[in-house]
């Protein structure tokens, strides 16, 4: 089976089980009583790292499914997991996470394409020319498998050293290909999945310091030369040695001012009780204060499975009970009395409309775009349906997540749920005609 067919059959299978879960997800968006729905009310996503091995645990999946709108595979998309020997890709564990997420209407972050760690040993043995080819093949193989299904990819991870020098970290890529490997990776990533946001991701870059400034200068250079980069990820692993920096918001803002999105990608804060809760509040408030901070991801569902489990750094304890930090995050996101609650955005009377345009056309396919416009009230989220003519199938979708029931595609927002009164957003999709050039029908838009 070729890559496109495999991807389509993965998406179709997910669609068969998605409709009921979608209703549940939309319902929770109305209540804004979960992390994902409260964040959606602010126009952001709230996600978590997920390990495929825990998906069989009922409390784990119940908490995941109820609370989060985005998932990041914690290890399953890394190079050692996906291409353990050259040219042989294995997607079983990553597919499990992506399928689970899609069947529940959650988005997926991709982590990570090029990183010095969790790198199979064969990569380090290659000479420069072979390594360059292998890096590009890895990017196109992995991104190609999930084309149209990942909202943001960590293209390059942790390429800068800690400390004051702002120098690049030694790695096979840096040592053999030089500084240019990052640019080459981003260009290859854009070609592999043009709809995905391409991120540079790192740690100890959360405040203004020599390392974050080195990353800043690279992003500035990229944007000035048209090297494709869309966002910067701030891992945000905090503890007493590395506390939430006082200039966190200022640092996020200076990156956003370069014209890229910023995302908090691996948030965890060691501690407990009100002190931990207060630190989480600072992080959420910093993101919400920066318009281009599009979402936050915590690095795990429960303290039990955290990479720093001894530091109890997450929002649910080992028994899946909500911690004070959970309540603080929900409150900072405007849950309970915020957007989606009675009198707030997303409550009962909100409406929306959806209009369709064909934006590109070629022999075998076309691109469609649907514009969703809020009525006279602000909305917290929306759902739109697109009915495809017989024989046509959707091969890619962007700025939304889809569930299929026969030829009816139900689309929910990915990052673009919240709309002020009268404002619009769009989602787009690529259709394979299979001999039919008829136009799809766009049905009701439902606001919540
Ligand atoms: O799956 C094997 C298991 O079969 C084996 O018995 C066991 C023995 O040690 O190891 C298991 O693999 C471990 C894997 O996590 C899954 O639990 C690896 O040893 C362990 O090294 C690996 O740690 C991961 C770490 O990245 C590796 O660098 C953590 O789960 C993961 O949370 C962490 O995530 C990183 C981000 O990718 C990048 N930023 C920093 C962040 C935290 O370190």
DSSP track, 161-218? -SSTT-PBPP-HHHHHH-THHHHHHHHHHHHH-TTSEEEEEESS-SSSSHHHHHHHHH
Q: Give the pLDDT mean for 29-34.
A: 63
Per-residue model confidence as pLDDT tens digits over 104-149: 999 999 999 999 999 999 999 999 999 999 999 999 999 999 999 9
Q: For the ranges 76-85, 167-176, 186-195, 332-341, which has the lowest average pLDDT?
A: 332-341
- 266 catalytic? Reply is yes
Catalytic residue among 30, 76, 158, 347: 158
The β-bridge relationship of strands 401-405 and 408-412 is antiparallel
Q: What is the pLDDT of residue 23?
A: 29
Per-residue model confidence as pLDDT tens digits over 329-376: 999 999 974 444 433 444 456 788 899 999 999 999 999 999 999 888
Angle at 281 (CA atoms; ends 231, 28), nearest 5 degrees: 80
Distance 111 CA to ligand 1 centre (A): 13
Q: Which helix (H) or strand (E) holds 72?
A: strand 70-73
Q: Which atom of ligand 1 is nearest to the CA of 235?
A: 39
95 has a pLDDT exceeding 60:
yes
CB-based contact 287:46 (threshold 8 Å): no
Around ligand 1, the residues with Cβ closer than 6 Å are 74-75, 117-118, 157, 203, 235, 266, 307
- 341 catalytic? Reply is no
Give the neighbor-by-neighbor strand order of the sheet with 382-387: 401-405, 408-412, 382-387, 441-447
d(CA 237, CA 307): 11
CB-based contact 245:214 (threshold 8 Å): no
Query: Which residue(s) pair with 360 in the sheet?
Result: 367
What's the predicted TM-score (pTM) here?
0.75
CB-based contact 174:180 (threshold 8 Å): no
Distance 75 CA to ligand 1 centre (A): 7
Per-residue model confidence as pLDDT tens digits over 399-408: 988 887 777 8
Distance 419 CA to ligand 1 centre (A): 39
d(CA 262, CA 250): 12
Distance 307 CA to ligand 1 centre (A): 7
Catalytic residue among 30, 184, 266, 341: 266
**Structure tokens that stand for 18 in this block:** 């998605």
CB-based contact 108:101 (threshold 8 Å): yes
């Amino acid at each position: 089976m070729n890559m496109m067919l495999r991807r389509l059959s993965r998406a179709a299978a997910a669609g068969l089980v998605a409709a009921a879960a979608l209703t549940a997800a939309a319902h929770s968006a109305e209540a804004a009583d979960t992390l994902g729905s409260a964040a959606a009310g602010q126009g952001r996503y709230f996600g978590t790292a997920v390990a495929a091995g825990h998906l069989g645990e009922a409390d784990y999946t119940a908490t995941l499914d109820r609370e989060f709108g985005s998932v990041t595979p914690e290890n399953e998309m890394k190079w050692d997991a996906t291409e353990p020997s050259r040219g042989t890709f294995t997607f079983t564990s990553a597919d499990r996470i992506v399928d689970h997420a899609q069947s529940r209407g959650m988005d997926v972050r991709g982590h990570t394409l090029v990183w010095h760690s969790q790198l199979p040993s064969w990569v380090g043995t290659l000479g420069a020319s072979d390594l360059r080819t292998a890096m590009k093949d890895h990017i196109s193989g992995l991104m190609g498998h999930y084309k149209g299904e990942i909202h943001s990819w960590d293209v390059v991870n942790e390429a800068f050293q800690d400390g004051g020098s702002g120098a690049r970290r030694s790695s096979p890529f840096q040592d053999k290909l030089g500084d240019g490997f990052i640019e080459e990776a981003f260009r290859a990533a854009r070609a592999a999945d043009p709809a995905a946001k391409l991120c540079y991701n790192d740690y100890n870059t959360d405040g203004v310091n020599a390392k974050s400034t080195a990353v800043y200068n690279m992003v500035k250079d990229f944007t000035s030369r048209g090297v494709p980069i869309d966002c910067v990820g701030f891992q945000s692993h905090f503890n007493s040695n590395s506390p939430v920096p006082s200039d966190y918001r200022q640092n996020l803002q200076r990156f956003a001012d370069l014209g890229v999105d910023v995302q908090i990608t691996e948030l965890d804060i060691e501690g407990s009780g009100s002190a931990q809760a207060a630190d989480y509040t600072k992080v959420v408030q910093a993101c919400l204060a920066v318009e281009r901070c599009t979402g936050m991801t915590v690095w795990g569902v429960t303290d039990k499975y955290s990479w720093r489990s001894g530091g109890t750094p997450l929002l649910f304890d080992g028994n899946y009970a909500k911690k004070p930090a959970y309540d603080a995050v929900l409150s900072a996101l405007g849950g309970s009395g915020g957007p989606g609650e009675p009198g707030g955005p997303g409550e009962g009377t909100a409406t929306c409309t959806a209009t369709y345009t064909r934006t590109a056309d070629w022999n075998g396919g076309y691109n469609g775009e649907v514009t969703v416009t809020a009525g006279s009230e602000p909305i917290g989220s929306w759902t739109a349906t697109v009915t495809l003519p017989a024989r046509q199938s959707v091969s890619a979708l962007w700025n939304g997540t889809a569930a299929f029931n026969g030829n009816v595609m139900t689309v929910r927002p990915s990052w673009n749920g919240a709309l002020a009164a009268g404002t619009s957003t769009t989602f787009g999709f690529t259709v394979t005609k299979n001999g039919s050039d008829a136009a799809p029908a766009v049905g009701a838009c439902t606001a919540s």
